[in-house]
Every structure is written in structure tokens, then in C-alpha cells.
Chain A
Amino acid sequence: MGRDAGMPPKGLRPRGAGLHPPALTPAYRSSIARAPHHPPIAIGGTAESLHGPVFGHGDIAPDEANLLAGYGSGGAPIGERIIVHGRLLDGSGRPVPGALIEIWQANSAGRYRHPGDRHDAPLDPAFSGCGRTLSGADGSYSFRTIRPGAYPWPNGGNDWRPAHIHFSVFGTAFAQRLVTQMYFEGDPLIPRCPIVATLPDPAAVTRLVGRLDMDASIPFDALAYRFDIVLRGHEATPFETRPEGN
């Protein structure tokens, strides 16, 4: 995708090739029939896509950031308790406050609470795998949950997903909308995963890996992983003349 000379000022940076996975990644077989063959048409930051839906504390319940509580008939989910936290930043490194962050994940046995999941691993009656929060004034967020299990999936015969948590993030602009996955530092399945391998730049995998964060862990309770999320940035101001893509 080329840059579009007709783009209005103060738009968002184009989502050019090289950063996000291309649509067609045949080693991830589901992309074969679902990848558009035409490249997207760049329409720059139209005013409407530079704004986005606004969420507030009325949209989520206070305990929705704690996946250890509030589901089923009580009791604690089985698994290794963890804290997943970080900051939501824009492309200039500024915090993005008040943004809706939604997560979903498998339970500690690698099974999703979903009618489509046929993996022969037990459901945990005390775990939904669904969490929501709003980023704080400094862009920070934090979830309490259990470490999800790895699981096999029908793709290449013996493919296993590394442990991961799905993230859905809103920025201030609808054009910043992002869905991604966080992996766990040190997981040997990461370099073997066809979905991780959709990234065009293998070095970018490090930006999807939550780092063990002992400073944020709680002794005798939970380990912590840190995962900062950077949203699509705005176009360079005149003194930022560096070319894109590095």
C-alpha cells in the first residue's frame, strides 16, 4: 500500500505493509478462503474515523477485571493465578485513558467456554474466560486471571497454540481499533505457532509477549505479566520527517 497524497492533515498513520500480518497467510489455513484478494483502499483519516465510541464505568461492572471471581456458583477457578497488566499508549507514547479493553481466554486446561470448542479438555465451572476494564488516567490496566493452557487445533496436523490471552482494544479513534493476542515470556510454543508466524517481522513477536514482572507480583498469591499496548499513531508532524516502517 502506498501513502495517499490526498489524505487530510492529522490523520492516522496508514496501516502499511510490514507491521500487521498480511491477509493471506497460507500456513494459517483459515486465512486462505477468508483473505480479500484486493488490498484495502486507503482513505486516510476521515473525520469520523478519527473519533470513536466512548465508554464509561456504566458499561462495565467493577469486578469484570477479576476473572477469578464472579462466575458460576462461586469457588475459585483452577490454575495458576496471574496478574496481567500494562499501559495503553498512543503512537507518541502518550497514555490513552478511559479506553475499553476486553479480553478472552481458555481455562487452565486449554478449553474455551464456547459452543464451538470441541477440544477434549474439561470446562472449569468457575471460569468464564471473559474480562473487561477501562484504562486509567495514566493508560494503565490490570486483570486478575489464571494462566491459560496451551491447546491443539486443527490446522497442520499437530499444531498447538501457545498459551495466550485475546485482547480487544479501543482508542480514541475508531480507526485505531485493534484485536490482538498476548503470549507468555519463555513459552517454547511461540516460535512454532502458525498464527504467531503471520507476523511479517519475526522481531515484532516480542511486542506481543507479556514479560514476567516480579515487581508487580504478589508474594504467595500471583505472578504478574506486563503487556503494554501501542495503538495506531497519528501522522508525523512536520518535524518528524523520518520515513515509515522502521
Chain B
Amino acid sequence: MTDANRPLPETPSQTAGPYLHIGLAPRLAGIDGPCAALGSPGAEPDLPGPRIRVSGTITDGAGAPVGDALLEVWQADADGRHAAGGFRGWFRVAPDARTGAFQFETLRPGAVDAPGLAGSAPHLSLWIIARGINTGLATRLYFADAAEANAGDPVLARVPLERRASLMARPGPFGYHFDIRLQGPDETVFFDF
């Protein structure tokens, strides 16, 4: 085996720190510019398909809000396709700096039907960074009212039964509710995906 065949080690992660908005959501740092809206939900072109509204709060192990976090959402379109037909399928969500509450609207994702993903239930992939998070945390948001689809999902099948509720967005009068708990008894399930 020569060195030329040795895989290069990945550059190590470091925390995004408390000032990540400057680079990733500049308007929240009071910085405007021609492309300050990059990543804003709603910047997508209008696409066919039902829309959903999701709200929740992100908290730490002491129950304190994590208002400096940034969430990235990566999702399929209504037909279960990723980055197809003009739908980027990616956007950023910044919680309220004081309360940690967040909300966003997007297309309801369809079930992904790609090779190796048979049986996947509709879901959003989330990636979370913040001060105190050394390496970005990946999780998924499933829909609690899609019980039949969820029952066949191969990723959910790897999650201990008693922890699956942390991945379920629950329908309510104002859309879906989905809290993110970084630590504690109801800690959100995170994935290495």
C-alpha cells in the first residue's frame, strides 16, 4: 500500500461558536448584502405540493433555550426527490435568540423511493450547530400522524422504541410541533448519517 492510496483524514470539526450568524445568517447579525437571504426558508420558488408549518423550541440539558443555534433542513420534495426540479430542498432556521423558539414553513416531503431506501417514511433531515456543540448534530423529523409509514422506516427501526418519540413532529392546531432537546431524559436522538 503506497501513501498515494491512503485516504486523507477529514479536517476536524470545531464549534461554530456564538457568532455563527455573521457568516451563515448575516441579517441576524445586522449585516445586509446582496445575498444575505441565502438559505432563508421561503426563498424557494413556489412549487406544487402541500405545505407544512413546523414550530418548536431547542433547549439544553438544564432546559435553558439554545437561542444561538442554527438549524439546517435537508429534505425531499413532494415526490420524494432530493434537489430536483428547481427545489433545492435545503434551508436554514435560526431560533429566537432569547427563547430558543423556531418555526418554518416548507413543502411536505414525500416518501423517498431511491435504491436502498425502500420503505422510508417521509421526514426532514436536520443538522444543528451552536456554541458548545463541537461537531454538528444530525437528526430527523418524522410525522407522528404517518404511523403506518413510520412503522416500516429502516432508520427508525434502529432507534430504541422508547426514544423514537423524540423524532416525531406532532400535529396540532398551528401545524406540527417538534422540540429539540440536546441533553437530558427526553434527549433527541442524533445520528451519524
Q: Taking beta carbons and an 8 Å cutoff, which residues of A are in contact with B?
A: 1, 8, 13-15, 19-23, 25, 28, 30-38, 40-49, 51-54, 59-61, 64, 70-71, 89-93, 102-105, 112-117, 128-132, 166, 168, 174-175, 177-181, 195-196, 198-199, 204, 207-208, 229-233, 236, 239-240, 242
Contact = CB atoms under 8 A, between A and B. Distances in A.
A15 B11 contact: no
A69 B98 CA distance: 33
Interface string B112-139: 1011110010000101011111111110
Contact of B11 (A38, A104, A229): A229
User: Among the interface residues B12, B16, B31, B187, which one has the most CB atoms of the partner chain A within 10 A?
Assistant: B12
The secondary-structure label for the interface of chain B is loop
A80 B29 CA distance: 24
B59 to A, nearest CB: 9
Contacts of A64: 33-35
Given A46-B155, A177-B127, A178-B10, A52 B35 contact: no
Contact of A174 (B62, B127, B188): B127
B174 interface: no
Contact of A36 (B9, B16, B190): B190
B183 A33 contact: yes
Contacts, number: 266
Given A47-B115, A231-B11, A102 B24 contact: yes
B191 to A, nearest CB: 5
Interface residues of B, number: 76
Contacts of B182: 33-36
A178 B11 contact: yes
Nearest to A88: B11
Nearest to A38: B187
B132 A168 contact: no
B177 interface: no
Contact of A242 (B6, B12, B22, B88): B6
Contact of B189 (A1, A41, A89): A41
A87 B185 CA distance: 43
Contact of B5 (A128, A208, A230, A240): A240
Contacts of A204: 9, 12
Contacts of A208: 11-12, 14
A211 B72 CA distance: 31
Contacts of B22: 104-105, 112-114, 128-130
Contacts of B132: 28, 30-35
B29 A115 contact: yes
A178 B116 CA distance: 25
20 contacts: A34-B130, A34-B133, A35-B61, A36-B137, A40-B190, A41-B158, A43-B193, A46-B155, A49-B74, A51-B82, A60-B38, A61-B34, A64-B34, A113-B29, A113-B30, A166-B20, A178-B136, A181-B14, A208-B14, A242-B7
B13 A179 contact: yes
A36 B137 CA distance: 9
A22 B10 contact: no
A244 to B, nearest CB: 9
Nearest to A208: B12
B17 interface: yes
B156 to A, nearest CB: 10
